[in-house]
Structure formats: structure tokens, C-alpha cells
């Protein structure tokens, strides 16, 4: 199973010189921001940290840890870090080999290539703001919960963008040359094998089966799926939408995947997400409105590389 590139906790972020400079700035700004000051004093009272950089680090970690369970997006696409504003990727087309008689003429048809430029110009942001009056009465638990909501919001928006990328692939460019038809019946083992077969026959290897929770519920009524997918409970991670593996594909479920639609994806070739700046935080204020808070953001780029590594099925029953 591939290791997912997830946002890093604060202690690891500080190993990056660029991010260290960012957080040096954040600490300076935080000292005059009412929200960060309230958070700092509440945290000191709770015995969680003793200085402003500790408060800034705690906010970062709360956001990152809240994002983890919702970052299914990074399980359904290849993710690469980058320091560049744009990167050029090569999309290889299949070459052709010929078998000739011994000492006969040799035909060499090399692999053909197309390129795609991926710009890391997508910035995802989420912010929470509070008035000074609210901050005066805010408890640690209230602030902690609000901060965690920001991490979840960024993760969900990231997933939405990745799914939109896959949804935008035209039917003729999908594995098998068309969208598979579920026939209006419930998701079952036969539909899984049809999705798997479509990608395999494009000479790719699907490693993710993505579907809506309703289709997962349908599968859980199919004995063939249950028997093929049996795992001890400690090998499943229901909280992150991971429900084991079938035919070499991790079974992932999210409500952001349309009800009635399922995908089989070879994430090693299908598409890529470049991460120019992973999840970071900074103070927010609008003095004219008397509001203060925190902004969470990340900067990414997205592109399809080999669309034939994606199989899609629609018209699956949307009720149990």
C-alpha cells in the first residue's frame, strides 16, 4: 500500500526552511492578534504550552489532525510535493514491438509522448473569525472545536476538487472508451469486476475502488463482496472511509462521490496533485469590523495524466 503524503505536524514543519520563515512571521503577528492571545492564555492555563510558538504549533496540529480523517483525496490520486509554480509532466503513449525472423529487418517504433503543464495555482482557504466580545467569553473547548472545523473544511474542499477532476473526463477517454452502465440495480460483485476489468484491459492496474456510502451499504449485502473483503477489524479504518480491499483495490467511501456512481482508479497513472504549499495557518483580522481569527490554506495543482487508468460506472441504484 502506498504511503500517503499528508500534511505534517508542527514539529516536522519546522524542518522546512521556507515554512520556518513563514511561522516566524506568524508568531510575530500572533502576538498582537486577540484570538491568538486568547488561545495562548487559555492553553497556558490548561498546561498545554508555555509560549506563543507553542500556541501557534498547537493550532497547526489541531487543524492537521482534524484534516487527516477527511483527506481521502490523497488516497485517490498521486500526490507529489513541489517547490515550483509549474511543472511539466510527460504522458507516455504506448509504443509497438514487432517479432521478425532471425537476421531480418528490425522495426523500432519508440514510445510516443505528450506533455502537460501543471500549475500550482489553486489555493484552498478556510477561515474562522470572532469578535473581541466573543473571545472574552470563549472557553478552550469552544476554540478547539472551531479550529478543528477548519482542518475538516480544507480537506473536504480538496476532495471535491479531485472528484471534479475525475468527473470532467469525457466518457470516450475513460477506460473501455465509455462510462459503464449500472443498469439501475444495486452495487454488487459483478459491477466491481466490470470496473476492474475495464482498467486492466487498458494495461493498467486499479488500486482504488471509490464509491458513495449507499453503494458500500449495497455491497455489504452481497456475500461475494463480504467473503472477498473479509478483514480483521483492526485492519479497517472506518473513520477515514477505508473498508478493506478487493481485487487489489482499496475500498474507499465518501458522500462527496455521487450516489449511484463508482470508480476504479489506477492512482499511479491516472492523475496527479502537486502540493506547492501544504496546510499552513496564519492570523486573520479585520479591524474595521472588529473581528479576529485564523486562516488555513494550501496551494496545489491538479491534472489528469492517463485517463484510461480511470473506469467509471453510473446508473447504479441509489436506494438500498
Q: Is 43 helix (H, G, I), strand (E, B) or coil?
A: helix
- Candidates 164, 160, 156; CA nearest to 279 is 156
The contacts of residue 242 (CB under 8 Å, 6+ apart) are 75, 236, 250, 251, 252
Contacts (Cβ under 8 Å, ≥6 apart) of 45 = 140
Global pTM value? 0.89
pLDDT of 167: 97
* All three cell numbers of 282: 496564519
* 165-178 pLDDT, tens digit each: 999 999 999 999 99
Look at residue 1 in the predicted model and tell me its pLDDT: 43
**CATH of segment(s) 10-86+117-164+273-304:** 3.30.2400.20
The pLDDT tens digits along the chain (320 residues) read: 445 678 889 999 888 888 999 999 999 999 999 999 999 999 999 999 999 999 999 999 999 999 987 789 999 999 999 999 999 998 756 555 666 656 556 555 556 678 899 999 999 999 999 998 988 889 999 999 999 999 999 999 999 999 999 999 999 999 999 999 999 999 999 999 999 999 999 999 999 999 999 999 999 999 999 888 655 555 555 555 567 889 999 999 999 999 999 999 999 999 999 999 999 999 999 988 999 999 999 999 999 999 999 999 999 999 99
Q: What is the DSSP letter of 109?
A: B
* Residue 242 confidence (pLDDT): 64
10-86+117-164+273-304 and 172-271+307-314 in the same fold:
no
The helix/strand/coil state of 83 is coil
How many CB atoms sit inside 10 A of residue 259's CB? Answer: 14
Triad 253, 255, 259: Cα angle to 5°: 95
**What local confidence, expressed as pLDDT, does residue 106 receive?**
56
Residue 238: predicted pLDDT: 53
pLDDT at residue number 44: 95
Name which of 301, 216, 207 is nearest 4 in CA terms.
207
Closest CA to 302 of 93, 117, 171: 117
Query: Residue 299 has what pLDDT?
Result: 97
Q: How far, CA to CA in Å, does 320 sit from each of 111, 217, 224, 228?
A: 47, 7, 17, 21
Q: Where are the domains of the chain?
A: 10-86+117-164+273-304, 172-271+307-314
Q: Which CATH number fits domain 172-271+307-314: 3.30.470.30, 3.30.70.260, 3.60.10.10, 3.30.2320.10?
A: 3.30.2320.10
What CA–CA distance (Å, rounded) separates 36 from 30?
5
What is the reported pLDDT for 281?
Answer: 95
* Grid cell locating 59: 493550532
Q: Is the dihedral of CA 262, 168, 298, 300 positive or negative?
A: positive
CB count within 10 Å of CB 279 equals 24
Amino acid at each position: 500500500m502506498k504511503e500517503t503524503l499528508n500534511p505534517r505536524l508542527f514539529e516536522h514543519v519546522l524542518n522546512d526552511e521556507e515554512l520556518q520563515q513563514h511561522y516566524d512571521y506568524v508568531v510575530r503577528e500572533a502576538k498582537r492578534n486577540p484570538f491568538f492571545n486568547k488561545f495562548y492564555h487559555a492553553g497556558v492555563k490548561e498546561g498545554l504550552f508555555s509560549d506563543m510558538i507553542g500556541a501557534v504549533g498547537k493550532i497547526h496540529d489541531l487543524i492537521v489532525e482534524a484534516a487527516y480523517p477527511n483527506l481521502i483525496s490523497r488516497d485517490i490520486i498521486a500526490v507529489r510535493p513541489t517547490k515550483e509554480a509549474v511543472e511539466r509532466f510527460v504522458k507516455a503513449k504506448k509504443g509497438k514491438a514487432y517479432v521478425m525472423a532471425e537476421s531480418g529487418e528490425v522495426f523500432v517504433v519508440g514510445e510516443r509522448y505528450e506533455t502537460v503543464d501543471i500549475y500550482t495555482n489553486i489555493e484552498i482557504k478556510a477561515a474562522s473569525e470572532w469578535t473581541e466580545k466573543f473571545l472574552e467569553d470563549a472557553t478552550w473547548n469552544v476554540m478547539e472545536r472551531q479550529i478543528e472545523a477548519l482542518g475538516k473544511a480544507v480537506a473536504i474542499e480538496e476532495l471535491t476538487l479531485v472528484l471534479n477532476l475525475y468527473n470532467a473526463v469525457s466518457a470516450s477517454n475513460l477506460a473501455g472508451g465509455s462510462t459503464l452502465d449500472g443498469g439501475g440495480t444495486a452495487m454488487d460483485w459483478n459491477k466491481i469486476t466490470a470496473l476492474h476489468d475495464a482498467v486492466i484491459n487498458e494495461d493498467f492496474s486499479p488500486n482504488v475502488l471509490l464509491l458513495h456510502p449507499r453503494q458500500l451499504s449495497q455491497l455489504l449485502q452481497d456475500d461475494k463482496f463480504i467473503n472477498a473483503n473479509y478483514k480483521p477489524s483492526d485492519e479497517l479504518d472506518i473513520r477515514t472511509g477505508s473498508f478493506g480491499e478487493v481485487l487489489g483495490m482499496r475500498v474507499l467511501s465518501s458522500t462527496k462521490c455521487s450516489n449511484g456512481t463508482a470508480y476504479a482508479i489506477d492512482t499511479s497513472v491516472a492523475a496527479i496533485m502537486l502540493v506547492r504549499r501544504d496546510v499552513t495557518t496564519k492570523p486573520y483580522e479585520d479591524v474595521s469590523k472588529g473581528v479576529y481569527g485564523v486562516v488555513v490554506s494550501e496551494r496545489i495543482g491538479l491534472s489528469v495524466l492517463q485517463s484510461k487508468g480511470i473506469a467509471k460506472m453510473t446508473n447504479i441504484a441509489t436506494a438500498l
